[in-house]
Structure 1
Amino acid sequence: MLIKCPECELQVSDKALSCPHCGFPLKSEQNTVRRRKSNKRRRLPNGFGQISEIKNRNLRKPFRAMVTVGKTSTGRPISKPLKPESYFSTYNDAYAALVEYNKNPYDLDPDITVKDLYERWCEVYFKTLKSDTSKRTIKAAWAYCSSIYDMRAKDLRARHIKGCMEEGVAIIKGEKRCPTAGVKSRIKSMFNLMLDYGVEYEIVDRNYARTFNVSDDIIKESTESKRGHIPYSDRELKLLWENVDMIPYVDVILIQCYSGWRPQELGLLELRNVDLDNDTFTGGMKTEAGMNRVVPIHPKIKPLIKARYEEAIELGSDYLINCTDTKTHRSNNMLTYDKFRHRFLKIVEILKLNEEHRAHDGRVQFITAAKKYKVDEYAIKYMVGHQISDVTEKVYTKRDVSWLKTEIEKIK
């Protein structure tokens, strides 16, 4: 199409940038070249890993994630497939998996030692445990396995685990000790779980701990070595009462003897669940029947309960029984099973009680005394949290606290 030049008024093409006759500029020169959009994905940081797309195959998950596990002598990265999953549907999924791995990298080297495997497993498994006692149990069992610490995990076989169970030695308080039947069983359980973790992350090919069972001899030895619980004799109970104001925590043992709480339950008795007006306290754990059960406060131990109650208020504690003899922060005054057991054994030693006594024996004492003084069978089960199988009693019979009080006060 022809137009007129504004300057010379001669005809020129409408596409011309300037008039060919007089040189008058008709359009400013424009760069119309557009930058091509790049399909190149963002480069991953050094040492982060790599993602490659496998093409020319009909794959549901074509994106493979690799992690950097080291470098060659020439400085080139050594990469291995991400575990436990290496292939992903999209680039973003693979990228997210690498991000998660790099937050807490785990060793993909199949040549890690048994000790390395133990430490990695503990880091994960200990987070699932609520009790410090469980952690100490595992650490105690591991102490007998020093002969295989430096073995490659993938070379571990059943015979090595059995060797630790039968011939392992641990240094405890400067003394060499061999594993008892109970420790042998715990070693086996520890390797069961640890090697399950190893198989999941392809550190080992097979869990050899699960290829054998604990022998009948170990089970028999373990059963025979377990001491039964025993009640306190009349002489021992008299000694406890005579020293209740002399030796710390004797009062806690007496509270247990007249209420039947487990050691752990004593430490978990909350102040808000202690009713001094109606002489009851509520607590419990372990089973459905044992949880949130109401136990009347026996008249003999009410002064002890009241003293502990007032002490807890003064300390600002939420719990009835507190350990004020520990050099810890106030929030750590709670009575745990280990703290109770430690103090209990000291009392046994000081008063020269039967050395066979254990921390649960106050509960045994309560049940034994209840039966001696003809306390109703179901009242005993309600108070100690034992399962009641009789449908009529469990479902259709409604018992009130006054009935439990009448029954518990039969105990002299």
Structure 2
Amino acid sequence: MEGSAALGQERVDKLLWRYSVPAMIGMVVNALYNIVDSIFVGNGVGEFALAAVAIAFPVMIILMGFGMLIGVGAGSLVSIRMGEGRKEDAEKILGNAFTLSVLCAIVLSAIILPFLDPVLQLLGAEPNILPYARDFTKVILWGSLFMYVGFGLNSIVRAQGDPKIAMATMLISAGINVVLNPLFIFYFQLGITGSALATVIAQMVASVWIILHFLRKKSYLRLKNQYMALDFTVVFQIIKTGASPFLMQIAASVVNVLFNHSLLLYGGEIAVACIGVITRIGMLLLMPIFGISQGAQPIIGYNYGARSYNRVIEAVRRASYAASALSLAGFLVVQFFSESIVGVFNQNAEFIAIGAKGLRLFLLLLPVIGFQVIGANYFQAVGKAQYAIFFSMSRQVIILIPMLLLLPPLFGLNGAWAAAPLADLGSFLLTGYFLFKEIRTLRQSETL
């Protein structure tokens, strides 16, 4: 209980540091093992395998989208309920989130697996890429249960005031993956199947660890049988609150498909392999920003529930400054060291040339993304899902998809890369406008 009480009493800057640093470490390590995966796949299996992972990525995004629907939705609600002093309701959300995670994994795998080849072909898998994409995605789908449970419950661990436990979960998963990946790919010669198998085993161990945490008495919230039966009022609240990141992931999957098709048309299979690497580099640079966002979420949600609006405003302000500084640093690294970064994944000269230019263009407006992420997260944290959904869809659907349809026919491969920063700019302007309006309303409410 000490952790949850501190959310309303301790200095905001100290809280943000204490909650954000473990989240940042966990998420950066998580992104690093995805980077390491790609390095092992690119150097141990080849460019076709890298392209296969990029082709399969939209499927993985959809799976993660459902995980975020449950995990982020439940985590936001738990923070608010704890701020309101409603522990039993928070435990009911935890139990329902666990059951939803299991059901989602079973249903989605049962739907996708029988039609896996047609799905991958629709996503752009050419005959020489399809076998790799099939082997990789099949294993990921069979093991998706562990991804759902691990991600969903870990969001609630952070929300209840245990950021170090949440960090440990991610470190466990990442550590096991990094050890098993080269072992399966190089020693056992399992190729891309080995990479997927390493990921699933790592997620399995992490999910068992997080379940055990919620069964221990020292956890403030407990996983109890009586709360695992689905309460459809609770389910609706979880889905409503988590709809923004879910829709963002679904839209990202559609965007990924359009990217793959555009890149295949204007840059060939090497360009498709490059986007897989570029998205992983982008995620690595964004993970510290998402860590700050996740660290701020329980602080914002708890104090919003407790009507301590000045603390909410301070948390948003400090998180925005920190996220913007990190996004600027990431931008400078990309612009000055793009060739060296891309070259780590594969030494093919054409791959490096296409990938380095794509990386610089794709992340051209990285400096504004930090503020945009924190702004969207504010609306998520306080339960105003409609705003968060709008911001998510504005980037992925309203701006990015039209850009992907218009720019590549006019400017070729450069047009495909340039679509992303234009979408980032539009989303930044929209988020800023609505967030400043919201902050003004909070200030007025605090003075009443």
Larger Rg over CA atoms: 1
Pair in the same fold by TM > 0.5? no
Q: Which has the higher strand share?
A: 1
Higher relative contact order (CA 8 A, sep 6+): 2
TM-score range, shorter chain: under 0.3
TM-score where L is the length of structure 1: 0.25
TM-score where L is the length of structure 2: 0.24
Q: Which has the higher helix share?
A: 2
